[in-house]
Structure 1
Amino acid sequence: MNHGMLKLFRIFLIALFIQNLFANSYVNNMEFDFIKKGKQDDNTLLIIGGIQGDEPGAFMAASIVTTHYEITKGSVWVVPNLNFYSIIKRSRGPYGDMNRKFAQISKDDPDYEAVQRIKKYITSDEVKVVLNLHDGSGFYRKDYTNWTFSPDRWGQSSIIDQSKLDIEYYGNLEEISKEVCEHVNENLLRDRDLYHTKNTHTKMGDKEMEKSLTYFAINNGKAAFGNEASKTLPLHERTYYHLLALEKYMEIMGIEFKRKFDLNSLNVKRVINDDIYISFYDETIQLPLSQIRTLLKYFPIKKDGTLEFSPSNPLLTVVKDNGLFVIHYGNRKLANLKPDYMDIDTETKVVNMVIDGVKKEIKIGSIVDVNESFLVEPINDIRVNVIGFVKKGRIDESGLEIRQNKFLNGFSVDTKGNLYRIEFYKGKKFAGMILVNFDKLKTSESGVSMISDFIRKATLKM
């Protein structure tokens, strides 16, 4: 190796080291969620999404079960983001394909802890059926038509490793798979999307499938299935087909549920894109994320760089990148928060506001609907700063009636120009935020929106 080549090789090694260093900081904040729903019993369905981060229909469907389904009878466990780091990186697996690490994995593998943890859930006595969700290429067909429709494709199929399993419950794998396919095929968006059972006959010598999660489950006496939606389809349609399939699995197991929306592809699209929020610092800030701007400047962050947040969805997280705090939602980067480092005071809980002429007590962290105007009543020792509104000679903007047309362009939280920040300060400390919403589509019947049920709380420490 000549001197020039050696120099390039050293540069490559340094770049790889830096990449892995940052990768580990991601991983430390991205353990997968494990969510129990329903009344726990010995007839539990374990739903897994996100084993491969480039299959968003799979992890989105699993996530929706955690946020928009109530299990009224039976037990469902959900892991919506098994390989969360790969989801953020939009990668099948930054450290290799996790779904090929269940037969053997080194303790030095960065995926080791996640694989060992999910194995414990799979082998739990309560679990009777394991459902691993995937997005697959093309459309599986038993007979070859072309590259897209062929036996080598995986999309639109129910995957089994073998026809039967000698266990007490749900060992008739092929029969169950065909029932699921029939149910999905009764609710197709188009004829092309037909579902079929794909039997990999793993124990007959499929060396790759022998390393998979479902085959590990099979070898530990669990009925296990893969469900594949086609990558050819848009995200909401893939998610729709996954939900159809997993609802049939629940029916077969006698699990009953209530869904917060009517199951069709357009409603699934709405759920994915609109019902997403994140709050910060004990809910003193709430951000709706469906139409959020890609950059929010001067966002209050604790002086020590600690960001405490509560997402409404397990696919939401925050990562620091190049000095910005980036909100990720599955494969998407939704917004960059440019920090304004300061002390945080959470003692102020409510303020009085006059909304369209009506006086209301508003909780800090709320989103308040406004038709014409609002006014924040003066508060002792609290300064009010309405972002994007300027009144010459005024440092404290309480006591002023403010209308939408008085805001400067570009200062709204959302891209439509309807959401604006009211910030509260106690001396130099940030004391909370309220958003006013001039959108005609209101947040709630009461006109005040709050996140009421978080999946988890998290802290990003830098």
Structure 2
Amino acid sequence: MQGNEPGGFLSADLYADMSLAKGNLIVVPRANFYSILLNHRGPHGDMNRKFANKPEKMSMDDKIVSILKELIAESDYLLNLHDGSGYYYPKYISKWRNPRAFGQSIIADCEEYKISAQNKALKLGEMARSVIKEINQEITNNLHKFHFNNTRTDEPDSIHREQLKSATYYALTKHHIPAFGIETSKFLPSIDLKIRYHNLAINAFMKLFEIIPEQPGLFLEPPELKYLIVSINDQVPIVIKNKQALNIMAGDTINVAHVEANYERGLSVDILGYGSLNDFRKNFSIYKNTSLMIRKDNKVFAQIAIRVSRDKKVGLRAFDREKVSHFIIKVNGKKYLLKNNETLDVVRGDLLKIINILPESLAGQKDVCVNFKGFVGNWKNNTGEDREYLINTSRNLLARYSLYGQNKVYKIVVSRGKEVSGKMLVRITEPSLEYLILKINNQTYAVKNRESVYASLNDYLTVEAIKSNISEENEISIRVNGDPLMPGRAKRIRDIAGPNINTFRIDLIRKKLPFGEIYIKIE
């Protein structure tokens, strides 16, 4: 909420796209983006002091706070991320290390909040101290260790009565949910260290709240511009790559429609001398040389020169024909982004769909065709355009169009007329069984493909796990003599094989395609 506290909003950014194994997260990395662009605490006042407001006329800040209140109402907990002054300590040590400082502290409005209507109490101090104990194990510098900062907001002698207007106090008293402020110190020597300490605190709170990430690794890359998509005079947009110049005629109207970078949030475009700090997706008529400043939050990370000419004979708008930068492919429901000329490995039987190509300005051209060589999407009208068709790699491909006719490697080609704009390969491997985990009575075996294991008719057999190169295990069926054998269920071998059998076979099948077999020999 405060634009000059980057530790908070850059840390939150790392969690916005996090996959979770358990729980849910609502992440608002940049509630006050305008203040971030200005690198200012709050150009219209401190937004974190507006949660008690009930204005008759809503300012932009008030509208944002209203949205935040709606999100808080949907939540079970609240973490409010900040960078604070000095280093909090419960006793006065120095001007910058004392009870009035905020840095390196976990803040709550009270030690314990009692909810009389529900006959329960939120033990905020206990929660905060358990989190702090875990955080401080990872911090060696004693000055940087966290402390619990109980602002005692409701108490008449509190030195922090301003917190009555804060987001945490609102969440605690209006919605009765545990609410904490996480403050790293503005005095820390680097932004990376602020982000690290915020991450330690967030991760510890997530553990306390039993929110479990699938991928806990966090890494903050420097922002990097790939290209801009710019429309000139409402014509078909063009692509301007990093370090290229945009050449236009005097009076041309430009609109930056898209910024392609390694981040999605916190991006803004400023046309110097025109508009405001953020001119993204707005029309401007340009009459003099200027520049496009591309920012991530309040830091410029790329600059595109705009060169204006009045000579209509100069071919300033001649750009190279665009090439494919990436393919967007879905395999078994999961999306993959592949570079031009890259190879995608799949297993025969995987379901593949060409979603689209990048850049978007090329994908939208009417004369662009994306063709999977060896696949026909519409036999009645085969145009060669194969985007959005579901391709079964075991049944829908014509082997004679594969490389060398071996039914293993196929090409996806992007063309505009006779010109090839991009291509990639799809390499198909056969489904294969590495081993089957079988339990016979109390003994467990890892049995490789075509191997045998011995058992008696009165033994009980359980299929415990399958190790194969097939990512979707629910697509695999296990059968004996055509009858299903369910994983995890113990079954007597006599009931599986029959009474007079010396050997029987367990077949593993994916979509009618056998790929493994195990033999049980009767002793």
Unaligned runs of 5+ in 1: 1-50, 352-358, 367-379, 382-425, 427-431, 434-462
3-state SS in 2 of match to 1:75:
coil
Query: Any idea what the Cα deviations from partners look like across 1:174-227, whole Å, max 9, x if unmatched?
Result: 111111111110101422211000000111144311111111111121211000
- Give the alignment of 1:432-447 within 5 angstroms: none
Could you tell me which residue of structure 2 aligns to residue 82 of structure 1? 31
Say whether residues 1:253 and 2:213 are aligned partners.
no
Could you tell me which residue of structure 2 aligns to residue 157 of structure 1? 105
Q: Distance in 1 between matches of 2:320 and 2:64?
A: 35
Say whether residues 1:186 and 2:137 are aligned partners.
yes
Q: 1:286 to 1:336 in 2, by over 3 A?
A: closer
Could you tell me which residue of structure 2 aligns to residue 305 of structure 1? 255
Q: What TM-score comes out, normalization by structure 2 length?
A: 0.51
Q: 1:259 to 1:331 in 2, by over 3 A?
A: farther
User: Is contact 1:178–1:197 with CA below 8 Å preserved after alignment?
Assistant: yes
Aligned partner of 1:201: which letter? R
3-state SS in 2 of match to 1:241:
helix
Q: 1:279 to 1:257 in 2, by over 3 A?
A: farther
Q: 1:99 to 1:364 in 2, by over 3 A?
A: closer
Aligned partner of 1:238: which letter? K
Q: In the TM superposition, what is the alpha-carbon distance from 1:109 to its structure 2 partner?
A: 2.6
Could you tell me which residue of structure 2 aligns to residue 54 of structure 1? 4
User: Is contact 1:87–1:330 with CA below 8 Å preserved after alignment?
Assistant: yes
3-state SS in 1 of match to 2:154:
helix
Greater RCO, CA 8 A, separation 6+: 1
Could you tell me which residue of structure 1 aligns to residue 184 of structure 2? 229
Q: In the TM superposition, what is the alpha-carbon distance from 1:344 to its structure 2 partner?
A: 11
Structure 1 or 2: more strand by fraction: 2
Query: Any idea what the Cα deviations from partners look like across 1:411-454, whole Å, max 9, x if unmatched?
Result: xxxxxxxxxxxxxxx9xxxxx99xxxxxxxxxxxxxxxxxxxxx
Q: Distance in 2 between matches of 1:337 and 1:213?
A: 39
Unaligned runs of 5+ in 2: 231-236, 274-289, 309-315, 326-339, 344-356, 361-366, 369-415, 423-523
Q: Choose from 189, 206, 211 the match for 2:165.
A: 211
Aligned partner of 1:193: which letter? H
Say whether residues 1:101 and 2:50 are aligned partners.
yes
Q: Distance in 1 between matches of 2:58 and 2:303?
A: 33
Q: Distance in 1 between matches of 2:266 and 2:185?
A: 21
Q: 1:146 to 1:138 in 2, by over 3 A?
A: same
User: Is contact 2:81–2:183 with CA below 8 Å preserved after alignment?
Assistant: yes
User: Is contact 1:66–1:78 with CA below 8 Å preserved after alignment?
Assistant: yes
Could you tell me which residue of structure 2 aligns to residue 63 of structure 1? 13
Number of aligned residue pairs: give it.
300
- Give the alignment of 1:24-423 within 5 angstroms: 51-67=1-17, 69-106=18-55, 107-124=57-74, 127-167=75-115, 171-205=122-156, 206-220=160-174, 221-233=176-188, 234-259=190-215, 261=217, 268=219, 271-273=220-222, 276-277=224-225, 279-281=227-229, 285=239, 297-298=245-246, 303-311=253-261, 312-322=263-273, 323-339=290-306, 350=324, 360=341, 365=359
Q: In the TM superposition, what is the alpha-carbon distance from 1:70 to its structure 2 partner?
A: 2.2
Q: In the TM superposition, what is the alpha-carbon distance from 1:278 to its structure 2 partner?
A: 5.3
Q: Distance in 2 between matches of 1:241 and 1:230?
A: 10
Q: Distance in 2 between matches of 1:66 and 1:140?
A: 29
Q: In the TM superposition, what is the alpha-carbon distance from 1:258 to its structure 2 partner?
A: 3.2
RMSD: 3.9
Q: Distance in 1 between matches of 2:202 and 2:36?
A: 21
Aligned partner of 2:86: which letter? G
| Identity percentage of aligned residues | 29
Q: In the TM superposition, what is the alpha-carbon distance from 1:158 to its structure 2 partner?
A: 0.1
Aligned partner of 2:63: which letter? E
Q: In the TM superposition, what is the alpha-carbon distance from 1:325 to its structure 2 partner?
A: 2.4
Could you tell me which residue of structure 2 aligns to residue 29 of structure 1? none
Q: 1:92 to 1:296 in 2, by over 3 A?
A: farther
Query: Any idea what the Cα deviations from partners look like across 1:397-416, whole Å, max 9, x if unmatched?
Result: xxxxxxxxxxxxxxxxxxxx
User: Is contact 1:286–1:365 with CA below 8 Å preserved after alignment?
Assistant: no
Query: Any idea what the Cα deviations from partners look like across 1:256-305, whole Å, max 9, x if unmatched?
Result: 113363x6xxxx5xx2426x555533997586xxxx7xx75337899442
User: Is contact 2:5–2:82 with CA below 8 Å preserved after alignment?
Assistant: yes
Query: Any idea what the Cα deviations from partners look like across 1:95-131, whole Å, max 9, x if unmatched?
Result: 011111111153243312111111111112xx11000
Q: Bigger radius of gyration, 1 or 2? A: 2
Could you tell me which residue of structure 2 aligns to residue 19 of structure 1? none
- Give the alignment of 1:423-462 within 5 angstroms: none
Query: Any idea what the Cα deviations from partners look like across 1:26-47, whole Å, max 9, x if unmatched?
Result: xxxxxxxxxxxxxxxxxxxxxx
